[in-house]
Each structure stands twice: as structure tokens, then as C-alpha cells.
Amino acid sequence: MLITIPVIAIIVALVIVIPLIISPSSDDIWKDSAVWFEGDGKIYISFNNYDTVTIDGYLDDAQRSLDGSKVTVLTRGDDYKGGALWFVAGSNSTWIADDVMCFQFSDSGNGIAYLTANNTLSDITDLYLYDTTTKKQTLIAEKTVYNKNDNELGVCISPNGKTVGYVSDYDPISEEYTGYISIDGRGKEKLGLNISAVAVSDDGKYVYYSKLKNNTYSKSFHVRSGNNDNTLISDYESDLELLFNKDYSQVIFNQGGASYLSRDGREREKICSSDINDIVTPIDISVKDSYNTYNTIQIYIFGISNFTNQVVATDRGLAYISNNLEVNRILGSSEIIYYTWDVWISNNGKSLLYLDNSGRISAIDPTNPNAKRREVARNVEAFVAADDLKTVYYISDGELWCLKGSGELTNISVDVSPQHLLISQDGNYVFFLVDYDRKQGGDLYFSKNGEARTKVLGGYNVIELLTAPTSFFYYTNNKEVYRSGGDENFSLFAENVYDFYGEILLT
């Protein structure tokens, strides 16, 4: 899956986006980009170039809103008592509660569903809903189910942060439980025995849930809308990956080597006989991931309205899905090992670039089933591109080249690391490392608008790079983090950072 953020003791979580096919004006774009990392017993959170917010403690979990403008942070605490929960927006942080075991943050950033330790038993918690706009806290249910050792969670929250799904009434002898949803904090609605809500839309219009079969480890997956209840997967035992559009009216999932789509709570429709792993979206469309661990279900939310007329990444290459679910395979893309840096698409969806295993960059109009593939370059190790294709930067045999729309080709640098090539969201700057060594790092350079390389002042012994919509970060072997406001002027951002993981995650 394209969105991959390592979970380690110390972390930088990053948010940058990849490509799509609809105009960003009709969809959710990145308004901000939260970056968080840990060092010296403190958690640092930064939005673009606001002042850094610092929270004492070690990071247990952090989640952001879909547009990247808000973050919820849980500090690491006792297995039986939990940690402290914080809400952060811009340069302001708000403490919400202590003894929090886990939480789910809404896509809008307006609601947080969290479980606090109940003194009776370690696997029993109380469920609260916190409104980040009014600062109101509501007790939704007491004695809900939670077991951190078994990674059980079973809580989900709607995009607007007002509807919550949860599990309660657990019987330790029969191991049975009951699923519920609560809309706007108004009481509870029973879903049924051994049912757990996986995802809920605003006002509970669509409720996606799994049902455990009696005396087995097998489950079924369903969607309920009004009086209609449709089984989407009749039997599964392993983990599920679900791709949702921004209002949860559509979901894509894989089963038995095929991909399916359910729209508006209806029965599933087959898309293709291959597994869809991702939606290829443009750089300013927002994407978010969530993990409902009770059901071992990984959820990805895309800031788009419709899953048709999109380019998708499958286990057999790239494909374009038309409005009537016709599949147009992208020529030559079956040779792709799909990573975020292998595929790029323009905002208007008419230009798709992809790098195959032979080192060839190809360009094509994915919306045209009769379009011919055009070769851009060969022997390529990595590439980045500006949105209007005014420039494409690529590395070949350790050399960085700039190809402009006019066809002009310029050599910018030699001895360039293919793992460290970043472009600004406006396409004006490209940053890269020269003479890179894994332990000692490398020298940081930039090129502006394809001009000759320039050394970044003080950019020595750089280990990793990180890019955000309006910021760049780099990490040195002295455990220092430097930041710029999207240009070449970096300043010290933090010291004694335990580790730093940054790569161009166009997600």
C-alpha cells in the first residue's frame, strides 16, 4: 500500500500527497502538513512553518485530520492506565484526558473518540467523544471492550466526528460481544451480537461492519444503509484493506484475487481480476490511513468524491477505471514494482509518468484507451516531476538530469543518491544528496528551476530528507533537524532527535 509510515520508537510522520484525476477544487486538498517526531522525552509537532508544539512524554500514537491541519497525540503510558491525550492545531495544544488507552481521530479533525481505563478490569474501558470545536466531552458508553495486549480496539468515528461505533457487553466465558453505534452522542443503537462497526459515515448513513461467525475465526463483511443490508464478503479470516472515498459512500476491497466496489451501500460490483492496492492521486489531494485493530482492518481514506475515472495501482500494474467500471490497462506498467516514487500523475489527470523495472520512464494519457506510450528516459533510478510537466528530474547512473517541457536536457550533478530526491510542491526546487554514505550522510544541494546545483549552507552529513507541502526538513548524523519554508534557507529546528525517517511519500 502506498501510504506507509513506519511505527518505531521515534518517528517522523509525514504527510505529502500523490496524484489524482479530478480537479482539486472539487476534492479535499492538503491545507497543512503535520510533522511529528520524538527526542529527549519530548514529542515535537509542527504544521508547515508555525512554531513547534512540544509535549512531554514518549509517543504512543498520533493521527492527523484528512487535510493535515490538526493532530491528536497520545503519549506512552502504563498498560493498565494509558497515557495523556492531546489535541494540536497550529501553534496551540490542548490537553484532553489522562489514562487514555487508545483513540480514533475524525477526518475533519472535529471529533476524537477515546477509551479511558476503567478501574474494574484492565480490558474494560469507558468511551468518550470529544468535540475539538466546542471543547465538549461526552461519555458515550461505560465498560466497552479493549485489550491492548491483543491489539483489540473496535472503535470507529465518522468523518464529521459526531458518530461513533464501538463494542461492548463482552462475555469472557463465551467470548461474545455486541456492537453499537451512537449518533451525535444521542444514546446508542444496537448493531447485533458479535458485530463490530468498521467504519461509519456522517449520521450513520452507511455503517460498514464485520460479523464473527459462531465458534470460528471466520468473519463476514457488510454494509448497512437505511433498511438495506448487503453482504460484501461472505467469509474471510485474514486482514482486510479497505479504500474509502471522502464521505464513505464508496469502498474498494479485494477478495480472491479480484477487486470490488460498493457504492451508496449497494451490493458489490467487480472491477477487475487483480488486487487494487492504491488510488493514484495528484500531489495536493489528501490521503489518510486508519487502523481498526479489533477487526485487523487497515483503512485508507482518499480526499476524493468518486473512485471511477481514476488510475489505480494493482498487483498486475496500473489501470484506469472508467465511469462504467471498464478497465484500461496502462501499457508497460505490469513491469512496475510499485512505490510512491515510481508513479506520478498531473492534477488534470491527463499526464501519467511511471518507471518500470527496466529503468524506463514512460508517459501516457491514461484517460484515452487508444493513447500511445511515449518514452521519456532510460536507465533511470528515480524521478520527480513538476505538475504541469515543465520539468522532470531523474537520476541515471548517479547523475541528476533536468528535462524541460521544451525538450532541453541539462546535467545538474554527479554522485547523486537515488534514495534522496525531493521536489517542492510548486516544482521550483529539487533537493538531493551528493557523495552519500549511509553512516556519515552526504552533502545537501538544490537546483532551482533546473539551474546549476547550489550547496545548501550548512548542509553537511545529511542522513535523511523529508518534504511537506510548504516545508523541507533534513536530519544530520549529529541528530539535528533543520527546516526551511519551502526554499533553500534552512535553520535549526530540533536537537537530540533519536531518529528521523523521511522520504518522498507522495500519498
Q: Average per-residue pLDDT in the chain?
A: 85
Q: What is the pLDDT of residue 17?
A: 31
Q: How confident is the model at residue 19 (pLDDT cuts 50, 70, 90)?
A: very low
Q: Strands 297-302 and 240-244: what pairing?
A: parallel
List Cβ neighbours of 307 (8 Å cut-off, separation of 6 or more).
Answer: 243, 245, 250, 252, 261, 279, 321
CB of 507 closer than 8 Å to CB of 85: no
Q: Is the pLDDT reported for residue 413 higher than 80?
A: yes
User: How many Cβ atoms from other residues are within 10 Å of residue 345's Cβ?
Assistant: 27
Q: Which of 42-46, 59-63, 147-151, 329-333 has the lowest mean pLDDT?
A: 147-151
φ and ψ at residue 24, rounded to 5 degrees = -60, -20
> Which pLDDT does position 321 carry in this prediction?
96
Mean pLDDT, residues 89-103: 92
| Mean pLDDT, range 259-264, rounded to an integer | 97
Distance of CA 201 to the CA centre of its chain: 19
Confidence of residue 425 (pLDDT cuts 50, 70, 90): confident
Determine phi and psi for 245, rounding to 5 degrees: -80, 180
Cα separations in angstroms, 304 against 307, 310, 460? 8, 10, 40
Percent of the chain with pLDDT over 90: 59
C-alpha cell at 1: 500500500
Predicted confidence (pLDDT) at residue 409 exceeds the cutoff of 60? yes
> Taking the C-alpha atoms of 47, 52, 58 and 62 in order, what is their torsion angle to the nearest 10 degrees?
-10
* φ/ψ bin of 415: left (φ > 0), alpha (ψ from -120 to 50), beta (otherwise): left
**What pLDDT was estimated at residue 102?**
87
Q: Which three cell numbers stand for residue 434?
A: 551528493
Which of 71-80, 114-123, 369-378 holds the top average pLDDT?
A: 369-378
Q: Is residue 413 within 8 Å of residue 444, measured between CB atoms?
A: no
Q: Is 395 exposed, middle or buried (CB count within 10 Å of its CB: 0-12, 13-18, 19+)?
A: buried
Q: How confident is the model at residue 250 (pLDDT cuts 50, 70, 90)?
A: very high
Average pLDDT over residues 144-170: 79
From residue 244, give the alpha-carbon distance in Å to each of 80, 199, 220, 234, 341.
33, 9, 18, 20, 23
Q: Is 142 helix (H, G, I), strand (E, B) or coil?
A: strand
- Residue range 321-325: mean pLDDT, rounded: 93
Reported as a pLDDT band with limits 50, 70 and 90, residue 506 is: very low
Mean pLDDT (whole number) for 70-90: 89
Q: What is the percent of the chain where pLDDT is above 70? A: 86
pLDDT in tens, 346-365: 988 999 999 988 899 999 99
- Which one, of 333, 309, 317, 213, lies nearest residue 261 by Cα? 309
Top-confidence range, 278-292, 340-354, 475-489: 475-489
3-state DSSP assignment of residue 71: strand
pLDDT at 468: 78
Of residues 16, 56, 51, 53, the one with CA closest to residue 36: 53
Residue 178 has pLDDT above 80, yes or no: yes
Whether the pLDDT of residue 293 is over 90: the answer is no
The cell numbers describing 135, all together, are 471543547
Give me the pLDDT at residue 384, please. 94
Q: How far lies 108's CA from each of 136, 242, 261, 301, in Å?
A: 16, 19, 24, 12
Residue 393: per-residue pLDDT: 96
CA atoms of 251 and 335, how far apart (whole Å) = 27
Go through the domains of the chain in sequence order and give each one's CATH number.
24-329 (2.130.10), 352-494 (2.120.10.30)
464-499: burial string, b at 16+ Cβ within 10 Å, e else: bbbbbbbbbbbbbeebbbbbbebebebeebbeebeb
pLDDT on residue 251: 98
Please, are residues 65 and 106 in contact by the beta-carbon 8 Å criterion? yes
Q: Do the strands 343-345 and 352-355 form a parallel or antiparallel pair, or are they unpaired?
A: antiparallel
pLDDT at 121: 52
In the predicted model, what is the mean pLDDT of residues 127-136? Answer: 96
Model pLDDT, residue 187: 83
Q: Is the pLDDT of residue 479 over 60?
A: yes
Mean pLDDT for 295-299 is: 76
Going by pLDDT thresholds of 50, 70 and 90, the confidence category of residue 501 is very low
> Contact at 8 Å (CB) between 268 and 260?
yes
Structure-block grid coordinates of residue 292: 481498526
- Residue 16: the pLDDT is 30
Q: Is it the case that residue 232 has pLDDT exceeding 70?
A: yes
**What is the layout of strands, in order, in the sheet containing 352-355?**
343-345, 352-355, 361-364, 374-377
